Amino acid sequence: MSSLLFLAARSAWNRRLTLGMTLISVALSVTLLLAVERVRHEARASFAQSVAGTDLVVGARSSPVQLMLYAVFRLGEATNNIRWPSYRAIADNPAVAWAIPLSLGDSHHGFPVIGTSPAYFEHFHYGDSQALAFSAGKPFADLFDAVLGAEVAERLGYHVGDRIVLNHGMGEVSLAEHTDKPFTVVGILARTGTPLDRSVHIGLQAMEAIHLDWQGGAPLPGLAIPAEYVRKFDLTPKEITAVLVGLKSRAAVFKVQRQINAYAAEPLLAVLPGVALDQLWQVVAMAERTLLAVSAMVVAVGLCGLVAVVLASLGERRRELAILRSVGARPLEVFLLLSAEGLFITALGALLGLALLTLLTAVLGPLAQAHFGLAIRATWISSDELILLAAVVGIGLIASLLPGYRAYRLSLADGLMPRL
């Protein structure tokens, strides 16, 4: 049997160019399949780690998914705001340990601006209950102080002490700027891999200050309040966008949720972050399944190419099979050798695909995090990826049975032919 394996190996080496291209095709298709699975898994993990330790997210009544998108992930806009007295009623609830107000609507070079309170830096957590940390500077203390996320500072080249001007409204391009009220960068947050990295943080009073002489999204004609005079005004917010709530006891979460949802003064919605995220995954599940199906089709095409190459070579290898028979190989052994060849190429392609994925993750992972905020880490193969690899190898084994059976038939026919 060892001599037969040696001859089969020599035969494969003589066809190394054709088999090598087939191997590359299988490896690339497996890389695509595993990449889709890993990105899907890391995207879910990244979303789930964007907020931790927050028991409820409160906003104007809308859908739970929409509330999570704009309050936590800075995607989209709120349908309505929350009145300040409603926020105070939530914060003063005996079951509430802390409440972080959020005010959205402005931007800086396309990065969202968040008006909040100093409690944000004390109580907000992400990942595995990790607290916010500063890579430079400190939290805002003065009216026109600003704290930048890591990506904002890195991409725009800001440092502590720099002056920035905020834009009115969201988006990359804004024609309305608050040029008369610049901010000073006093802190830069350490990278978190969450939407915080792409955010500019200012105080709630500062958000009110820059809009004192604005109405309806535009400056009031003939009215301009210089920055040095805004402190004379009452800067208590009239409205905010959302509230992050932490409770003294998580056992009271459903009770407090019912109280907020039944709030009589205005329609509010309180959602549990985990439940809302589950609904979000139900919304995007079809897209995930579609991507996996496309990747699986690519793998199927690669395996079909492998079968086609092996089948096409059988006519040229008919003499080789006859030689194998002449040295004592039985038709069953020929069948096993051809099947093993296809299985070996599939298994090697799967391993090369996994290795290529690991290399691409190490090289492109930091770029994905910097440009898209998606933390893709080079980790050990997960159970889902292992199942996909096993499925690829299993399907490859089944596909290899066809050329093996064809070789078996040719070998049997040649063995029955009379020798002259």
| Domain assignment of residue 309, given as a range | 2-47+283-416
- Which pLDDT tens digit goes with each residue over 53-83? 899 999 999 888 889 888 888 887 888 899 9
Mean pLDDT of 89-104: 94
Helix then strand count (H, E) for the chain reads 12, 16
Q: Full-prediction pTM beyond 0.95? A: no
- Domain boundary (240, 271, 302) is at 271
Listed residues 212, 244, 271: the one ending a domain: 271
Residue 348, in any domain of the structure: yes
Extended beta strands in 190-337, E state: 200-203, 214-215, 218-219, 239-240, 242-247, 268-271
Helices 16-48 and 2-14, interaxial angle, to 10°?
90
pLDDT at 115 over 50: yes
| Residue 258 reports pLDDT greater than 90 | yes
Is residue 276 domain-resident?
no
Residues of 94-104 as b/e, b for ≥16 C-beta within 10 angstroms?
eebebbbbbbb
Tokens 């440009």 belong to 371
User: What pLDDT, in 10s, does the model give residues 235-256?
Assistant: 889 999 999 999 999 899 999 9
Is residue 260 a part of any domain in this protein?
yes
In terms of Cα–Cα distance, which of 113, 277, 282, 127 is closest to 202? 113
Q: Is residue 134 part of a domain?
A: yes
261 and 346 housed in the same domain: no
Query: Are 165 and 179 in contact, with CB atoms under 8 Å apart?
Result: yes
Segment 168-190, tens digit of pLDDT: 776 555 557 777 889 999 999 99
Residues 236, 137 share a domain: yes
Per the domain annotation, does 208 fall within a domain?
Answer: yes
Q: Name the 3-class secondary structure at 101.
A: strand
- Is position 303 within any domain? yes
Cα dist from 198 to 111, 175, 371, 398, 405, whole Å: 6, 21, 10, 48, 58
Residue 420 banded pLDDT, cuts 50, 70, 90: very low
pLDDT tens per residue, range 347-383: 888 899 888 888 888 777 666 665 555 666 667 777 8
User: What is the reported pLDDT for 418?
Assistant: 45
Give me the number of domains the chain comprises.
2
Structure tokens at 205: 């009073």
- Which one of 241, 271, 301 terminates a domain? 271
Residue 296, domain member (yes or no):
yes
Whether 245 contacts 90, CB under 8 Å:
yes
Contact 22, 207 (CB under 8 A): no
Asked whether residue 157 is domain-assigned, the answer is: yes
Residue 303 and residue 350 share a domain: yes
